[in-house]
Copies of this chain bind each other. A is one copy, B any other.
């Protein structure tokens, strides 16, 4: 019987799944920061006592989930999430020519407080948990077009409210400063009439139809790490989804 440096739980899970979990743990644990080259497949296979094919299957899965990037002839690297890349990946607004809208962000207001019932529900927090709230306007060609209200569990992002400035893309800050890797988002989209507050912030008439985007963001281990409510006034632009 070979000894494995994998999950001690030998029941059920196939080998490649345990290899995948092992590699993922070392990435999220910070052993291999973004941009690092992983050991070669053969070396990982030797280290873990499995065949190269099994390592390959695990790395294929991590590649599909965009945790890792493979470069033929060079190596396998922990996916690097540059600010531009993160915007590109999670900002779903496109203009009429099909090009992605790349928004700017105005200085934000940041505060902290005890989570409301709605915030606790959306972020699956315990009663009494505290949150960081960020409010900002996004602009496009110099004009306000999107109002963001972002809520984060304070326990996951201690000190974030002390930042001098909130960057245009929060998600790479999450990764670089807090080691929290954004994995996926779920968005609920509806059409709403502009309230007085939104009308003023987006410079439209009250009652103007706006797109409301309610987003929950998950990290690689499945934790809810952000709740974001955006209201957008889209002129010659649209929300895009592929199914």
Contacts and interface: CB of A to CB of B under 8 A. Distances in A.
A58 interface: no
A184 interface: yes
Interface residues of A, number: 29
A234 B212 CA distance: 12
A13 interface: no
Interface in A203-227: 207-212, 214
B238 A214 contact: yes
Contacts of A192: 191, 209
Contacts of A188: 94, 238-240
Interface string A221-243: 00000000000001001111111
* Copies held by the complex: 2
B209 A243 contact: no
Given A209-B210, A210-B209, A187 B234 contact: no
A193 B237 CA distance: 16
A240 B191 contact: no
A111 interface: no
A241 B210 contact: no
Contacts of A243: 89-90, 92, 184-187
A190 interface: yes
A43 to B, nearest CB: 23
A207 B210 contact: no
Contacts of A242: 184-187
Contacts of A185: 242-243
Contact of A211 (B187, B190, B214): B190
Contacts of A190: 211, 234, 237-239
18 contacts: A184-B242, A184-B243, A186-B241, A187-B240, A187-B242, A187-B243, A188-B238, A189-B238, A189-B239, A191-B192, A191-B212, A192-B209, A193-B208, A193-B209, A207-B207, A209-B209, A209-B210, A239-B241
Interface of A: 89-90, 92, 94, 184-193, 207-212, 214, 234, 237-243
